[in-house]
Structures are given as structure tokens and as C-alpha cells.
Amino acid sequence: MSLTNDKFLNISNSIKNSYLDEWKNNKKKVLGYYCTYIPEELFYAAGFLPYRIRATGHELDELADIYMVRFTCGFVRLTLDLALRGGYDFLDGLFITNCCDHARRMYELYDLVVFKRKEIKQKPPQFYVALPHVINEDGFEWYLDEIKLLKEQIEQEYTLKEIDNSQLKEAIKIYNENRSLLREIYNLRTLDNPKLTGSEFLQISMANTSVPKEIANNELRRILEIIKNSKDLSNNRKRIMLVGSVVDNINFTKLVEDSGAIIVSDFLCFGERNILDDVDLNGDLLENIAKRTYYRMSCPRMMDDHKKRYDFLLKEIERAKVDGVILQRINNCDLHGCENMLLEHELKDLGIPSLNIDREAFLTDTTRLQTRIEAFYEMIK
Amino acid sequence: MVNRTELENKVIPYKILLETLQNTYDLVDSILLDNTIPSLKIGLKYLIQNIEANIEKAGDGLPVVGHHFAFQSEYLDCFDVVPICIEGTSYILSALLPDGVEKYYDLMRNWGHPFHTCSSQKGVMGMTLDDLFRFDAIICPTAPCDNTMASYPYFKYQADVPMVLPDMPFIHKEKSFKYYAKQIKKGLEDLGKIIGQKPDWDELKKHLEIDNKSINTQLEIFELKKAIPCPVENFYNAMSAAVTIFMAGKEEKVKYYDEMLESAKNNYRKKKHHGGEEKIRCIFPYMLIFFDLGLCEWLDRELGMSILFDIFNYNFTKPIRTTDSLDTMFYDMARKGMEFPMMKQSTDFYYNFIDDCVNMAKEFKSDCFIFTMHIGCKQFGSVVQVLREALRDETGIPVLMLDLDVGDKRMTSMKVLRDKISLFAQTLL
Ligand code: SF4
Ligand code: SF4
Ligand code: SF4
């Protein structure tokens, strides 16, 4: 058995899927979100299916052009375009946090434009949480208060009753299990003889954010068995770590891997960064959810945490026996652009090969990228 | 022992700035008739005093503290330091130096700083890379944009400058002001530990009170701009931005606004327009174009277009209460910080910004808006069309969007920008 054409992985190729339809047919609600800084367990406990908005396969941005200037993130622009064409009309709610300047403004654009389209019968509720940009106790206190207010808002506008501890506990268990399964799968990439490619992991991870987590967990268990029983992948390819802006399209990871490498590790928000930390099941559960979301392995939007991210990267490079690091950013992503600038110099100082590239969200510049990537592989021979 | 020149060399760009300011002042003084562009002459005079005083302080060996433009320099008056506004310095030099600060932008770009990341920080980052600035510490609120969040770590991790980051929430609620108030106080205490000074709250009070004095004057000038023709020249807006950034909490700021109020009243009484005849009244809801401030004069004189105000000239906060408790004072400081130009619009949803624009268009009888869409400010990248639609629906007036880098003349040529504005103006006349 192999993962080629696996039905779960295929979910990542489209926006909607049969599990989502089934969920909706059962009159259950779907909540869209952009950034992984979301207390997903809380929404799940409230009966929402949190769905990570992406634009996989969507290539048009003319409608988004009207509302977003060209020098904004292509990933967000594509999602907006898709939303304006009705691709996200199945959403029953939207959660936004001040993750980056591009995605956070989707709060206003969905409110003023997307949800005002005539196709939308009833405007879905929108939720917003202000997340600090530094990680310390004061910041956590602020964040916890925001999460408490969020819970109240969900209870008032959606569940119409209190979300109790047993619901929270159940959601946390499901999510912890989900992360643990993903970690197990992830670790099979880092082996000396990896069992799956970076593109396959990305597909698994994207599919995982598009279906209810109970279903995802069953699927992940099944996939884990397939992978464990599959043949090792060839070990004479360059071992690459992929770092930077969101990747929601395997065309890019394939480009990296088809040129003679395998992505054995990543630091992406559809990748490892989001599955490292779990929620504690003891004590105040809401507080624990807030703790995980706030103190988890950060991304560059956390202004004071570069050192921790860098240290983590170094450990991963060692653990996964990485030959070279590809630092990439979607054009106009300032957060990853500057983080990559720092990392490039730091890795160079340690003699770790790295390639720093910018790209379009939907690959239009394949040849240029391929040439640079191949030249990089040559260099790390 | 370290000599004075060596200490002053911690702020070399300030020395360059002083020389340029002096040259510009001499030129203005010798070729412009008295009161031809009052804001330019008055502003330059006080800016020179301010920069001179800071170089002097650097020479005395006081710590050089970099600060983000949105951490107002008067807040640093609780210390004896040389405050250097990072964004302000990049842009004032971009405005005054014949070749701008492109050399430093290029240094940083070659070092890996993305081309789309804000030039306001890129300039001073490049100067720091070139060892022209040697900061002892930097203080920066965690706002208003990704560029701030993304660029400042360079100073900490590559230039090895200790950094203090008061956290500013991205939502304007009562609790936000309280939270940020604590962050400012703690931030100043932490900064004090780094530079070996204890914050002197009495001294801070004194400077906050000085700054308070100019608020009413600014408001009076703002009100006078409702008159037709606008009695204040376009350049006032540009100079006010510099005064706000560099002279906060200083008597020079008070004097600048006092003198400008006199000038505005005088013009108002005579119904005098700086360019001769006012044909178009325009609002720049965002920034001016810093690399070509000559645009202000050109608009006044060539097109008869008044810039009623830009973002630095329509955000006013209440005076800070200094005589109640320290808590009240910090609360007001937080409010002022969060309502500072660009912070107010960037750290909250943009509904209020749109409403403000519509109301100002009506109250000030504006004929149009010109939105300078600066490449750095991604948080405004999805505002323009919504603003355009709101203004069209509620006032019927058009918006011209200019995409550019307000601090780098190479991204869009000034000729192209002026042509666009001219064509736009023709459609209005
Ligand atoms: S990179 Fe960070 S800010 Fe951007 S979507 Fe991922 S988690 Fe959110
Ligand atoms: S790639 Fe960068 S700009 Fe785009 S959504 Fe992610 S963090 Fe934001
Ligand atoms: S708000 Fe805009 S101009 Fe100001 S620092 Fe950020 S990107 Fe630059």
C-alpha cells in the first residue's frame, strides 16, 4: 500500500470535501480561520468545525485585486479572491487574530465585502482576539482575558449555553491525540531512511485542517500504519529543511523535492511548528488552552522570540540530519522575509548551507526557482 | 579616555542631518522672501536647535537611545539621553539629502532585508550596519505593523543592541489603554536598568506638560483649515510631522505652533492662499511623499491644490493629566500612544478610520483624497477600495491612489506621480 492517491491526502487538493459536507448536512457549523494562533479546542468544544482557510489550486486574483493592493501577500489575496467567488460561502463563522497585517484585515473585508454579497443569506458571526506580540506573563494575562471574553461571545452568539468543562476536556483530548499522531507521522520523515516525503506530509497536514478531528484521527491512524509498513524512501537525496511563509500547495514542495532532495523537516505553519505543543488536561482547562496557543513554538509575528526559534531550528537540523535549509517567503511577507534574513546570516556563521528565496503564492516563476534550487543542491554536494 | 568627537560619532547621521538643515536654512534665508514659506523657515530654525542639542548631549557621553516613532520622544524625557527616532531619521534625511538615503537602503537590501519591507526602518538599519549609529538601547512598541515587528529584531540580534518592547494591543478598548499604560511604565523602568538611570517621573511630567501646551494651538490651526481658501500652506503638514517626531515635549514645538497659528490667522483674515488661488481642496488621509517634499509647494502653486492635512495633522488627543496620580498620567500616555497618527488606524479595525475620513471630507469641504499607498504599510493594503467606496457613496468625491515607497524615489518616479496628480486634478476642475 502507498499514499499515492490516498483519499485522505486528496482532501488537501480541494477546498471542500465529503466529511465537511456531511458535517454541514448534519446542521453543524464550520468556522473559518487563517492563522494557527487560534484556540481551536474551544471552538471544537462549542460545536464548530474549525477550518483553516487556504486557496489550494486557486489561480485567480482579479477580484482580490479590487480590494487588496498588489503588494500584499499572494496567499491571502488568493483566499480573498476565492471567497469573493463564493468558495467560502459554506462558512458559518470567521475567526481572526492579529497574526500578520495581511490576514488580520480579512476581518474587515469579510465583514464589509465577502459576507455582504447577495449570496449570503445571513451574515455569519465574526470573532476576533488581540494577541500580544511578545511572550511574557503580562502578555499571557492579557491573552487569557481575551480568551475568556471569546468564550463568552461564543456562548452568547452561538451555543446559547455555557461551554462546560467536560466539552473542553473532550475537545482537548481529541486535539492532543491529533497532534500526537501527526508528530508520529512527522518523525517518520526525519529518519535516516525517511518513510514519507515533505509533500505527502504537507498534504496530510492540510487535509487535517479541513475535516472534523475525530475523523482526522481515524484517518491518521490508518495512514500511520500504511507508512510504517511501506518501503523506505531512497536515502541518497539531499535532506532539506523548509522554513518560512505558509505553503498550501504541493507544487512548491514538489519542486523542491523533484530536483533531487527530500524535505525531512520543516518550520512552517502547516507543518511541524503547529504540532509541537499539547494542552495540559489538569487544572483550569480554558487557561491551559490559552497557554498552549500563547506559549507554543512561535512564528516571526512574535517579536521577541527569534532566539527560541533559531535554537529550535538548530536542534532540528541536527536531529533530522539536514544537509541544507531552504528559507522561503511569499513575496510581500515582511515577517518571514526579515526572519529569513536573520536566519541566513546565522546559519552562514555556523557553516550550515542555506538558500533564501522569494516566491509567488501560486507558482508562476517555476523555472527561476528550479534553477536556484538546483544550483543550491549542487553547492551542498 | 574617550574624547568628545568619538562620542559624537555615535550619532554620525545626526551630524549629517545638522549640516544639511543648516545649509537648507541658509538657502531658504537667502533666497526666499520673508514669510514665503513660514513653516519651512520656522520649523528649520527649531529643528536645528534640537539636533544641535542632541549632538551636544551625545558628546557629553549620554546614552544614545533609539526609539520607534510611535514611542514618543517626550516619554524618554524621564532620562538624560539622546533620543533618536529611527523612522523619523530615515525619512528626514531622505527628504533633505540630495541623494536621499538610498545608499543605506541598498546596504540593507544587499544584507537581505526584503525590498518590500519599510524603508523608514531600512534607512537607519543600514546606517547602523555601516557603524554610523551606535545605540546603547532601543525602545519600540510592538506596533503598528509587520515591518516594525519584523525589522527591529535586526537591531537586537545582529547589531547587539539591548531592546525593550512595550506591548501594544491591537484593539482599542478601555482595558487596552490600561494594559499599555503598564507596559510603558515597565518599559521605561527596564530601559532605565539598561542605561543605568532611574526614570525621573517629575521630569517626565514637566515635558508632558510642555507638550500639552501645543495641543490647543494645533487644534486651532486645524479649525482654521475649514476656511476657504485654506490659510495654511501645504508645507506646514510636512514640517508638523517632523516637529511632532523630533520635538515632542520641547518648548520649540510649542513655539513652532504658536508662530504658525499667527501666520494662519493672518492669512485667514486676509483670505490669502499660499499658492495665489485655491482651486482644489484635498486630504491626504495617509502620509506625504517624504522623498519629494517639494510636491507640497508644487501643489499649492502649480495646481492650486491645498493639502488640508495628512495623517500627522488630524489626530489629536486630549492633554495628558499630570496632576492626578501617576496611574492617570500613564493611562493618558497610553491613550496618546495608541491614538498617535498611524497607530490609531493600524492597531484597531479600520471602521473608525473610514468614518473619520468621510466626516472630515464633509466638514472640511474637501474635493478629493490622495492616498499614498506606501509599500511597507500592508495593514493599509486593503483599505483603499473600501475608503473609495465609502467616500463615493457618502460624499461623491474621488480618491487617487499612488503606489510608491514614500522614502525611496526609485520605486516610482516623481514625474510619473506628478503626472498622475495633474491628470486627476484636471478631472476635478
Ligand atoms: S506564519 Fe505565524 S502569523 Fe502567519 S499564519 Fe502562520 S502562525 Fe499565523
Ligand atoms: S505568508 Fe506571511 S504575509 Fe502571508 S499570511 Fe503568512 S505570515 Fe501573513
Ligand atoms: S506603519 Fe507603514 S510607514 Fe510606519 S513603520 Fe510601518 S510600514 Fe513603515
Domain CATH for A106: 3.40.50.11890
- A45 in a structural domain: yes
Do residue B154 and residue A342 have CB atoms under 8 angstroms apart? yes
| CA B256 from centre of chain | 15
- A246 in a structural domain: no
Chain A residue with CA closest to B149: the answer is: A303
Do residue A301 and residue B171 have CB atoms under 8 angstroms apart? no
Q: Supply A189's cell numbers.
A: 520523515
Closest-lying ligand to the alpha carbon of A271? Answer: 1
Average pLDDT over residues A55-60: 92
Cβ neighbours for A89, distance < 8 A, ≥ 6 positions apart: A119, A120
Distance from first CA to last CA of chain B, Å, rounded?
Answer: 66
Nearest residue (by CA) to ligand 3, atom 6, is B145
Closest-lying ligand to the alpha carbon of A273? Answer: 1
- Cβ–ligand 3 distance for B311 under 6 Å, the answer no
Interchain contact B392–A (C-beta under 8 A): no
CA–CA distance from B231 to each of A80, B281, B302, B357 (Å)?
Answer: 44, 12, 17, 21
d(CA B389, CA B364): 19
- Which pLDDT belongs to residue B27? 87
- Cβ–ligand 2 distance for A88 under 6 Å, the answer no
Helix A366-379, helix A250-258: angle, nearest 10: 40
Interchain contact A332–B (C-beta under 8 A): yes
Q: How many CB atoms lie within 10 A of CB A240?
A: 30
Average pLDDT over residues B105-133: 98
- Which pLDDT belongs to residue A236? 85
- Which pLDDT belongs to residue B33? 67
Of A100, A89, A77, A93, residue with least CA distance to A40: A93
- A371 in a structural domain: no
- Cβ–ligand 3 distance for B87 under 6 Å, the answer yes
Under the banding of pLDDT at 50, 70 and 90, the label for residue B1 is low
Tell whether the model's pLDDT for residue A261 goes beyond 90: yes
**Of A127-131, A241-245, A367-371, B301-305, the least confident:** A367-371
Residues 31-90 on A with a CB inside 8 Å of B are 66-73
- Cβ–ligand 2 distance for A102 under 6 Å, the answer yes
Average pLDDT over residues A133-161: 97
- A265 in a structural domain: no
| CA A248 from centre of chain | 8
Average pLDDT over residues A354-361: 95
Under the banding of pLDDT at 50, 70 and 90, the label for residue B34 is low
- A365 in a structural domain: no
**Of A156-170, A306-320, B18-32, B256-270, the least confident:** B18-32
Query: Ligand 3 centre and the CA of B145: distance in Å?
Result: 6
- What are the residues facing B18 on neighbouring strands? none
- A132 in a structural domain: yes
Tell whether the model's pLDDT for residue B294 goes beyond 70: yes
Sign of the Cα torsion A124, A219, A19, A207 reads positive
- Which pLDDT belongs to residue B32? 74
Interchain contact B25–A (C-beta under 8 A): no
Q: Report how many domains make up chain A.
A: 1
Average pLDDT over residues B265-277: 96
Q: Which residues of B touch A71 (CB under 8 A)?
A: 116, 375, 378, 381, 403
> Over chain A, what is the mean pLDDT?
96
Helix count (H) and strand count (E) of chain A? 16, 8
Tell whether the model's pLDDT for residue B23 goes beyond 80: yes
Tell whether the model's pLDDT for residue A1 goes beyond 80: no
Under the banding of pLDDT at 50, 70 and 90, the label for residue A95 is very high
pLDDT per position as a tens digit, B315-324: 888 999 999 9
d(CA A348, CA A346): 5
Distance from first CA to last CA of chain A, Å, rounded?
Answer: 33
Q: Supply B231's cell numbers.
A: 490659510
Domains of chain B, with CATH numbers?
Answer: 4-199 (3.40.50.11890)
The residue range of the domain holding A26 is 13-163
Tell whether the model's pLDDT for residue B28 goes beyond 90: no
- Which pLDDT belongs to residue B63? 98
Tell whether the model's pLDDT for residue A53 goes beyond 70: yes
Q: What percent of chain A has pLDDT over 90?
A: 93
Tell whether the model's pLDDT for residue A108 goes beyond 80: yes
Tell whether the model's pLDDT for residue A185 goes beyond 80: yes
Tell whether the model's pLDDT for residue B2 goes beyond 80: no
Q: Supply B328's cell numbers.
A: 492617570
Chain B residue with CA closest to A98: the answer is: B170
Nearest to A341 among B113, B143, B385 (CB): B113
d(CA B91, CA B144): 17
E-state strands within chain A? 29-33, 48-52, 93-97, 126-129, 238-244, 261-267, 324-330, 354-359
Average pLDDT over residues B324-343: 97
Tell whether the model's pLDDT for residue B229 goes beyond 70: yes
Do residue A300 and residue B150 have CB atoms under 8 angstroms apart? yes
Do residue B146 and residue A358 have CB atoms under 8 angstroms apart? no
Do residue B112 and residue A344 have CB atoms under 8 angstroms apart? yes
Closest-lying ligand to the alpha carbon of B147? Answer: 3
- A363 in a structural domain: no
CA–CA distance from A234 to each of A198, A255, A319, A379, B265 (Å)?
Answer: 14, 17, 19, 21, 81
Do residue A142 and residue B167 have CB atoms under 8 angstroms apart? yes
Tell whether the model's pLDDT for residue B35 goes beyond 70: no
- A64 in a structural domain: yes
Tell whether the model's pLDDT for residue A363 goes beyond 80: no
